[in-house]
Structure formats: structure tokens, C-alpha cells
Amino acid sequence: MMGEVVSETIVAAAIKVGALICSVERPGRHHDVFNAMLRAGFVNRIGPEQQGFITSHGRFVGRELGRQIAEGADQIIAGRIGPDGVPYKAQHPQLFSEDVW
């Protein structure tokens, strides 16, 4: 539609180390990014705070902002139930690639 505002969406799992951002195409997950980095010779420790996502606007966001963006763009896969029977969407403030693809 002409004039339609396209909201930001989550497009890839990513890991940010300093200024370096590594990602893989979806449906790749964070472990796929880790493996690609290892194959490329990256051996530094990667913590959970370095894991996030690339958005359709080309920016890296952490897991919590990623969750907000994915929910706003209606990207969360419906019907996922956690091991305790609670809908997964309600359980976590963070986004996981399993939530969106």
C-alpha cells in the first residue's frame, strides 16, 4: 500500500562483540552464529549479553528489545507452550530465535 508505514521486524539472530556483529540468515539460531564464528577462528568468550538480533532497519538489538519489536510486529509464533503449561510468550521478557522461526 502506498504510504503504509513498515514497522521494524526481527530478521536474524546475531552476536555482537565490540564493533563486530555476526549473524546468519534465518532460520539460523544463535548456536549457528557461534559455530560460524568458531569456524572463522573467533575464540573469545561470548556472554548472553552479547546475543541479540538484527532488525529490518539494520540495527543490532538485545534480547529484551528484540522481544518488544517481535511482539509489535506480530512475529511471535502462536501456540507455543512452555514445560510448565504456560504460554511461552508470557514466560520470558527476552526473545529467542525459536520464538519467531
Q: What is the pTM of this model?
A: 0.83
Mean pLDDT over 24-39 rounds to 95
Mean pLDDT over 20-44 rounds to 94
Mean pLDDT over 81-94 rounds to 71
Mean pLDDT over 33-52 rounds to 92
Q: How many angstroms separate the CA atoms of 23 and 82, rounded?
A: 27
44 belongs to a structural domain:
yes
Mean pLDDT over 10-22 rounds to 96
3 belongs to a structural domain:
no
Looking at residue 1, what is its pLDDT? 47
15 belongs to a structural domain:
yes
Give the pLDDT confidence of 65-74 residue by residue, as tens digits.
999 999 899 8
Give the pLDDT band (50/70/90) at residue 45: confident
Segments forming the whole domain that contains residue 33: 10-100
5 belongs to a structural domain:
no
- Total domains in the chain come to 1
Start-to-end Cα distance in the chain: 26
Task: Break the chain down into helix, strand, coil percent, rounded to 5.
Answer: 30, 20, 50
